[in-house]
Structure 1
Amino acid sequence: MATVVDSTASEERARAVARRRRGRRDTRAALLFISPWIVGFLVFHAWPVLYSAYLSLTDYDVINDPNFVGLDNYRRLFEDEKIALALGNTFFYAAIQVPLYIVVSLGLAMLLNQAGRAAGFFRTAFYLPNMTPPVAVGVLLLLVFNGQNGLINEVLGFFGIDGPNWTTDQTWIKPAIILTSLWSVGSSVIILLAALRNVPQELYDAARVDGANAWQRTVRITIPMISGALFFVFIVNSIAAFQTFTEAYTAFFGSGNTTYSNDAALFYVIYLFQQAFEFLNMGYASAMAWVLFVIILIITLVQLKVSKRFVYLEGEQR
């Protein structure tokens, strides 16, 4: 009996050793296959991030060697009036653009959900503007929102409305940039459409039997059932809004035109870019970048915390 037990134990140990060896072999193979990504991540992402943290503690103009100055760059942020201006513009843009972007995306997705056989064509039509280079969108902003002969003011004039000077009036510059950002709602429309297609039709049928109208079905069924996709779109676009750069820079800074004040279009990342590549204050720009990182991190963590109360995940116990 003891011999049989010892033999069984030996076989179990041998199988365990074989499993560990097979596991290590599989792990090495997996690491080998993903090693190009690991190297690329370390060289092009992790190292620049860590090095920028060091640069934020230095006075560095790209030409000369970095000179360590401690927290002077961060203290300078509180004394720079343009930091407050750029942050104010950025927060204003994000507070208006993100909700408007989601409302438009959801409205188009709901219309597209009723398109039937034509849905494939409209999916492509809505997504195509996302393929437009951001620089071209910045030029489009100047053409469409031109105060004298732009398309928007031409349409308003048809209805007897005297349109504003969108690109020169400080009051209307940010609304023009916000409206231009809706050019690229296509990607969010596709995401929300996929979520809408997964809402069980039985829920709508039961709601109709109970006498719910279209608005009640939207509020009580559609939005809760796609809240996960809505939250994803909200998070992604919030982060993108705080990093808005190309369209505004192309339209109001890229040409070097200083005839009109462009303070209303001075977003945080634009000012960061100017400090880094126009004024060569790379250390100061690195400090600005880390402050932006912390701001986005805090906002994202708050959104994740709040989402636990509003986001419905199928199968999750409440």
Structure 2
Amino acid sequence: MADPFLRVAHALDPETAHVWAIHALRAWGRAGAPLAKEMPRLETIVAGVRFPNPVGLAAGLDKDARAITGLMALGFGSVEVGTLTPRAQPGNPRPRLFRLVEDRAVVNRMGFNNGGLDAGVARARTANRRGGVLGINVGANKDATDRVANYVAGVRAAAPVADYVTINVSSPNTPGLRDLQAGAALDELLAACVAVRGTTPLFLKIAPDLDRAGIDGVARAVIDRRVDALVIGNTTISRPGLRSAHGTETGGLSGAPLRALAAAKLAEVRAATGGQVALVAAGGIDSGAEAYARIRAGASLVQLYSALVYEGAGLPRRVVTELAACLARDGFASVAAAVGTAA
């Protein structure tokens, strides 16, 4: 493990390392670390928003919007913070975050631990985005009696500050939350959130565990309600061929073992939506070649997170550089020109 940052992080338990990383990124952001140089070939427009490159940080790392500037300086084209809930909540009991080193994966059952919507949005409002795009991911409190109202509160508060807002109904760690991905419940939720988002693009994050009927239902709902993009997807409750002893831990699995499932679900969502909705691919992305494959399969943007645990802070710049090389090699002048060309 050549990266000294990783050596220190892996010497700590996973959640302590996570907290330490946020502190380090905050300090780096305050020091004015430069954003990775822009590459014109990678600039793309999705939902009316200009992304300097299509490689984003998925929600879950910076839950409370504390390290936006430092994260942008790593070279991400976008950073998605959260998940933020209307009221602060501690999440599930520790331990709740596990490295699966042999599998280059992570299992988490964090449970939307965060300091609350008001505090997170206030920090996001004053952050230096360094030319990058800021997404705010919102969810419902575990004990909420009206979850739709929780999401409406989140969208209403985040929309004036964010470049886009993501509705997260796909975490496996809040009981019953995934029920909002289907049928009348999803339609009611989307209608209520669209009504308060103003002109801010609205994204919906879904689970990679949906079957084809579930995906078809989501596709109809987002097209009917004019949601701007689908994020495919969150962590999985499946356990595909894991070697680590932590593979049996309860929670959502992310990282390399999710790659095949996430790619398959992206293809299914692309077929179900027929190109009518922008897609954001997540799950097992750890290289420019993998990001390029997801773009050619139909994604306009990609997100990563768990790979940082094993590749370190240099990963975003490497992925961006490799992606630009892939596009140039195959004669694509832009990201948009490559989207869906292998679908």
Normalised TM-score (structure 2): 0.21
- Greater strand proportion: 2
- Greater helix proportion: 1
Q: Larger relative contact order (C-alpha < 8 A, sep ≥ 6)?
A: 1
Normalised TM-score (structure 1): 0.22
Greater CA radius of gyration, 1 or 2? 1
